[in-house]
Amino acid sequence: MQPLLIETKTVLQHTMFIKEVNVKNLSNPLHFHNEYEMVLINKGSGRRIVGDSIEDFSAGDLVLMGPNLPHVMYNEKEYYEPDSTHEVSAIVTYFRLDWLNEDFINSNEVTRFNELLRDINRGIHVHGKSQEVIIKLLKKLLLSTGLKRIINLLHILNLLSETKEYKCLASVGYSNPHNKKDVQRINKVYAYIMNNFTEDITLKNASMLANMTVSAFCKYFKGQTQKTFTQFVNEVRIGYACKLLYNDNLSISQVCFQSGFNNLTNFNRNFKQYIKISPSDFKKNLKG
């Protein structure tokens, strides 16, 4: 699969490749590649899938992903409308570490560094003061060249190896189950969900997109995502509901139906299952 917005051959010719991206919306499908990837979202919002993790993203979102880890980012629906004025701005960095020799990697001096790389293989989301510092370093990295660029990258990785201000995204047991055919198939299903989760989504339609029977698709989807189809759809809907709850003009009932749920009881139950508090308590907490 092609890495986000650049040619694979370009990455292979460099130890590191960094680019500032300014587009109307994110359009790349689910993909994975042999390089590490770091993505800073400067402007834009939506949902990202990293392995079996589904989370919302917004400006300031900073993630690192290891080689061969399936991932994709989708913007909100309004970004794809013909008359949309929305924009996405990001700094995307691809890098390889195969130039670090085995003796260095296995030395006691870099134990924490090795732990960091193991975590990055699951994808990590950086937060706190470390996020703020790395955002500044990334802007320096974008402007630097040659050896200075490598030094700045190592500075970022060293900072991350010394902090706990990040969380892993994919689950501990996650491993990439995808081959090229699977990526194409599951991408159709993901796109169907992301484009229609506020409306009626049927298992039958998803199965047809995957060219499978319903029973075969259910087993396949669980194997690919570590979640049932219903769990996956509900996670996406609840993430969107959290965003809507920031709007004081919307009632809990309006948020429920605008998120794709067809009754309030089901919405409240799922919200509490994923967020651990009720929608009304969530809304109260927003007001302090």
Domain ranges of the chain: 8-168, 180-286
pLDDT of the residue at 179? 66
For 234, counting Cβ atoms within 10 Å of its Cβ (0-12 exposed, 13-18 middle, 19+ buried), the class is: buried
Polymer length in residues for the chain: 288
Sign of the torsion formed by the C-alpha atoms of 76, 248, 60 and 124: negative
pLDDT of the residue at 249? 86
Our CA dihedral for 252, 194, 7, 35, rounded to 10 degrees, sits at: 70
pTM: 0.81
pLDDT of the residue at 2? 36
Q: Hey, is 187 helix, strand or coil?
A: helix
pLDDT of the residue at 3? 33
pLDDT of the residue at 98? 79
Sign of the torsion formed by the C-alpha atoms of 23, 28, 33 and 36: positive
pLDDT of the residue at 105? 65
C-alpha 222/C-alpha 218 separation (Å) is 6
C-alpha 214/C-alpha 41 separation (Å) is 37
pLDDT of the residue at 131? 96
pLDDT of the residue at 102? 66
Given CATH 3.40.50.620, say whether it is the number of domain 8-168: no
Q: Which CATH superfamily is domain 180-286 in?
A: Homeodomain-like (1.10.10.60)
Return the residue matching tokens 């990697």.
105
Question: From the first residue on, what is the mean pLDDT of each consecutive set of 10 residues in the chain (288 residues)?
Answer: 41 77 91 91 94 92 93 92 94 87 67 89 96 93 89 93 93 72 84 92 94 95 90 93 88 95 95 93 80
C-alpha 67/C-alpha 36 separation (Å) is 5
pLDDT of the residue at 13? 63
